[in-house]
């Protein structure tokens, strides 16, 4: 859920464009790994569904011939889900929001014109050069002005 424009936003951290740019190399490596995990989750899910469709409730029997395969798939699903949630949660706690893994859209909380905004970056761009309102999205992107505020407004720091 996106906050309404009148809601106060309390980001975990405020980033400058320079600080965000310093993280891009790491994010450029991390995003494909996360995307790979999501892709593998899709494959695991498809295989789990195939087994369920073929065997029905019998699949849960302890002596079922595919029980070991099902257990491996369930464990892999749990492991990948946990790793993905931990990675995304760690980024969120830093004030970095992964908006779309497929397109490599990432937002950093920042300040422009004394307003908390998202500094917006997309995989393939050389640096963080755009921003949009927290309640907005990619289509609301505008270039970061040279005079972007380096510090958060008092309401975001209190």
Of the ranges 33-37, 118-122, 137-141, which one carries the lowest mean pLDDT score?
A: 137-141
Of the ranges 68-82, 112-126, 139-153, which one carries the lowest mean pLDDT score?
A: 139-153
- Give yes or no for a contact between 20 and 28, defined as CB atoms under 8 angstroms apart: no
| Mean pLDDT, residues 95-124 taken together | 93
pLDDT tens by residue, 54-102: 888 887 777 878 888 989 999 999 999 999 999 999 999 999 999 999 9
- Give yes or no for a contact between 83 and 44, defined as CB atoms under 8 angstroms apart: no
Picking from 121, 81, 117, 115, the residue whose alpha carbon sits closest to that of residue 98 is 121
Extract the tokens encoding 35.
């995307």
pTM, two decimal places: 0.77
């Amino acid at each position: 859920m996106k906050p309404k424009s009148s809601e106060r936003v309390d980001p975990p951290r405020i980033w400058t464009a320079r600080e965000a740019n310093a993280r891009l190399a790491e994010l450029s490596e991390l995003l494909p790994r996360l995307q790979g995990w999501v892709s593998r989750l899709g494959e695991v899910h498809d295989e789990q569904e195939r087994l369920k469709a073929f065997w029905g409730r019998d699949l849960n029997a302890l002596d079922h011939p595919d029980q070991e395969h099902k257990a491996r798939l369930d464990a892999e699903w749990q492991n990948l889900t946990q790793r993905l949630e931990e990675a995304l949660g760690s980024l969120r706690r830093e004030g970095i929001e992964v908006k779309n893994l497929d397109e490599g859209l990432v937002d950093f909380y920042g300040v422009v014109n004394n307003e908390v905004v998202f500094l917006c970056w997309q995989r393939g761009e050389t640096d963080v050069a755009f921003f949009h309102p927290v309640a907005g999205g990619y289509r609301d992107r505008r270039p970061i002005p040279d005079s972007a505020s380096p510090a958060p407004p008092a309401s975001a720091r209190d």
